[in-house]
């Protein structure tokens, strides 16, 4: 990391300094692990006590932060410290040296089209009629199938497999081991104990600004397309089945599964290990707590759900009080029944 002063950081973030505006930083650190010359941040109130003991030279804080005692570090006050550290980390990431060129051990079909400033790592394969945009990085061991379209400024990390006819937009990041476009889970009973495989002839369409975590699997459609809309973020180990449509800016945490043909709205937030049944429709803005199961349509926008089967979060919390006391309630009922039967 290059060296920056607290004043330069404040100007970049439209913030203000409090303390030594000439304090210099050349690295990042967590506030509890701050060292001289590092930049840290305070966004979660649970970590407030660390700001009075951190050795970090500069700390980003919210404008609303009120110090209760002396702070050694220089403060840079900003509207949103968490958002501001994200901006700085992204700038730092862009400053790091990026690989370029096509490594010798890779295979690029003679009818594939590659844009400008491409990197293709060793042992990667790019198939016939594939079209790769400008400034794309394809790390070692990737498979890009026939007729795949990848937009500009995408990063494809090691071991990603992208099946034929997949379409990927601009500014997408796909982490290691992810598989896009494998067969949907389609089998028809064929009498007795056998099943007839249903050919999956559709594709996957991923729009701009999508990020997929490691080991995500997205199945191609039986017919038509499986859609991952603009701005969607999927955590590690998610599974998206055939013909699913996930709306813009929806985020889904790890180990969740969305079954075939489910339609997820825009701006939804799912916790880890959420399960969505087939053919279910989820409205815009719905939030689902971790380990919840959705088996019916959720048509009310901005609902907050929990449980399996999931229902309204407040109702769940009220019910949970009774769940915890269920054994005691049963015992009291049994005692009451005995008393009534003896009278």
CA atoms within 13 A on the CB side of 89: 12
What integer pLDDT is reported at residue 90 of this predicted model? 86
314-337 average pLDDT score: 79
Which CATH number is 101-316 given?
2.160.10.10
Q: Active site includes 49?
A: no
What integer pLDDT is reported at residue 307 of this predicted model? 83
86-105 average pLDDT score: 86
- Superfamily name with CATH number, domain 4-95: MurE/MurF, N-terminal domain (3.40.1390.10)
Nearest by Cα to 60 from 92, 27, 98, 16: 16
Say yes or no to pLDDT of 314 above 70: yes
Residue matched to tokens 């409090």: 18
Sorting pLDDT into bands at 50, 70 and 90, what band is 311? low
pLDDT tens across 236-288, in order?
999 999 999 999 999 999 999 999 999 999 999 999 999 999 999 999 999 99
Sorting pLDDT into bands at 50, 70 and 90, what band is 298? very high
Sheet containing 74-78: which strands, arranged edge to edge? 16-18, 74-78, 58-62, 38-42, 27-28
What integer pLDDT is reported at residue 308 of this predicted model? 77
Say yes or no to pLDDT of 317 above 80: no
Say yes or no to pLDDT of 324 above 80: no
Task: Kindly report the average pLDDT of the chain as a whole number.
Answer: 93
Residue ranges of the domains in the chain?
Answer: 4-95, 101-316
Exposed/middle/buried for residue 47 (C-beta within 10 Å: 0-12, 13-18, 19+):
middle
Residue tagged active-site, from 175, 237, 239, 242: 242
Please tell me which residue, 43 or 316, carries the higher pLDDT value: 43
Task: Give 314's DSSP letter.
Answer: H
What integer pLDDT is reported at residue 245 of this predicted model? 98
Query: 219 with 199: CB under 8 angstroms?
Result: no
**What are the strands, taking DSSP E only, across 229-334?**
233-234, 239-240, 245-246, 251-252, 257-258, 263-264, 269-270, 275-276, 281-282, 287-288, 293-294, 304-307, 310-312
**Widest CA span in the chain:** 93
> Would the pTM count as exceeding 0.75?
yes
What integer pLDDT is reported at residue 94 of this predicted model? 78
Say yes or no to pLDDT of 1 above 60: no
Question: In this prediction, what percent of the chain has a pLDDT beyond 70?
Answer: 99
188-210 average pLDDT score: 92
What integer pLDDT is reported at residue 205 of this predicted model? 98
């Amino acid at each position: 990391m290059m060296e920056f002063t607290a004043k330069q950081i404040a100007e970049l973030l439209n913030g203000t300094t409090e303390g030594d505006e000439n304090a210099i930083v050349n690295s990042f650190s967590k506030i509890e692990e701050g060292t001289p010359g590092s930049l840290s941040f305070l966004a979660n109130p649970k970590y407030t006590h660390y700001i009075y003991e951190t050795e970090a030279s500069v700390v980003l804080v919210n404008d609303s932060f009120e110090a209760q005692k002396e702070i050694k570090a220089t403060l840079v006050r900003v509207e949103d410290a968490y958002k501001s550290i994200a901006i700085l980390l992204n700038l730092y990431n862009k400053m790091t040296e990026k690989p370029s060129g096509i490594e010798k051990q890779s295979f690029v079909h003679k009818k594939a089209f590659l844009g400008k400033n491409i990197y293709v790592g060793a042992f990667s394969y790019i198939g016939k009629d594939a079209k790769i945009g400008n400034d794309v990085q394809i790390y070692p061991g990737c498979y890009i199938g026939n007729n795949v379209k990848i937009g500009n400024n995408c990063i494809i990390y090691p071991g990603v497999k992208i099946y034929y006819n997949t379409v990927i937009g601009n500014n997408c990041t796909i982490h290691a081991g992810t598989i896009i476009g494998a067969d949907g889970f389609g089998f028809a009973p064929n009498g007795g104990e056998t099943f007839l495989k249903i050919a999956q002839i559709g594709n996957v369409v991923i729009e701009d600004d999508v990020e997929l975590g490691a080991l995500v699997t997205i199945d191609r459609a039986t017919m038509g397309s499986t859609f991952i809309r603009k701005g969607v973020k999927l955590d590690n180990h998610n599974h998206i089945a055939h013909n699913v449509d996930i709306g813009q800016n929806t985020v889904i945490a790890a180990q969740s599964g969305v079954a075939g043909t489910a339609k997820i709205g825009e701006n939804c937030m799912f916790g880890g290990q959420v399960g969505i049944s087939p053919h279910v429709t989820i409205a815009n803005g719905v939030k689902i707590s971790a380990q919840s199961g959705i088996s019916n349509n959720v048509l009310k926008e901005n609902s907050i759900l929990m449980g399996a089967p999931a229902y309204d979060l407040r109702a769940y919390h009220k019910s949970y009080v009774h769940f915890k006391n269920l054994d005691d309630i049963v015992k009291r009922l049994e005692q009451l029944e005995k008393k009534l039967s003896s009278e």
